Amino acid sequence: MKKAALAITLVLAAAATTALAADPRQAPKTAGIESKDYQWAKMEGELKEALAKKGDVKRGEETYEICGACHLPTGAGRPDGTFPQLAGQHTTVLIKQMADIRMGLRDNPTMYPFAKEMVDPQDLADTSAYIQSLCIPTDHGKYEGADVAQQVATGKTLYEKQCKECHGANGEGDKAKFYPVIAGQHYKYLLRQMTEIRDGHRRNANPDMVKVIKPYTNEQLVAISAYQSSLSMPGAMCKPKGKKK
């Protein structure tokens, strides 16, 4: 079973590498569903079913194996921003994003082959439960410019003005409202996602966030991302290496 899962992982990893060069607009789309018709709070079909399931962490560890090739077994993702940090993320957020990708509501050709490997809503629930159980890495990708202190300070001001209400003081998000945990997330991934949301390239973005982020300049998004990537979430971050548990 483990060997079979590993074989699938390697095959899908190769497919993912090829897909990185693909045009995001070519991701599979569900017939009849257009961006203008999508409602953030409209929970139905597979998404509704998965959200109603009780996830099994042990089974989720097995179904997560196909995700580990890109997001790593620890769920740490990649500091260069190609793959996000997933560990500790709310199950609701994970389920929604996987379901949206499967249904063609979020364009992500790299993730699509992986998401389609999930057999049913229970798989989504189990995988998400396992990912949420993982501690959030402390050594994720951060802003590394010479002006880091200034960028973080500027970003903090902007974050506390319009982002804190939804994403929380420590980047803890809100599970019930599908607001993601951003503490421990890679700087480059945060910057890429906010830029895509602002520019209308992420079709399943929360409409409220789209309105908030639309006026921001590139420089402001850099500052906000720098600050967000500096956040630590009490009680959920991994213990520093070398220290006893």
pLDDT for position 12: 38
Are 104 and 28 in contact, with CB atoms under 8 Å apart?
Answer: yes
For residue range 67-100, what is the model confidence (pLDDT) as tens digits? 999 999 999 999 999 999 999 999 999 999 999 9
2-19+45-133 belongs to which CATH class?
mainly alpha
pTM of the model: 0.83
Question: From 3.40.50.410, 1.10.1270.20, 3.90.1150.10, 1.10.760.10, which CATH number describes the 148-228 domain?
Answer: 1.10.760.10
Structure token digits, residue 133: 């159980």
Are 205 and 197 in contact, with CB atoms under 8 Å apart?
Answer: yes
**pLDDT above 60 (res 128):** yes
Are 47 and 35 in contact, with CB atoms under 8 Å apart?
Answer: no
Residues of the chain with CATH 1.10.760.10: 2-19+45-133, 148-228
Region 62-67: what's the mean pLDDT?
Answer: 94
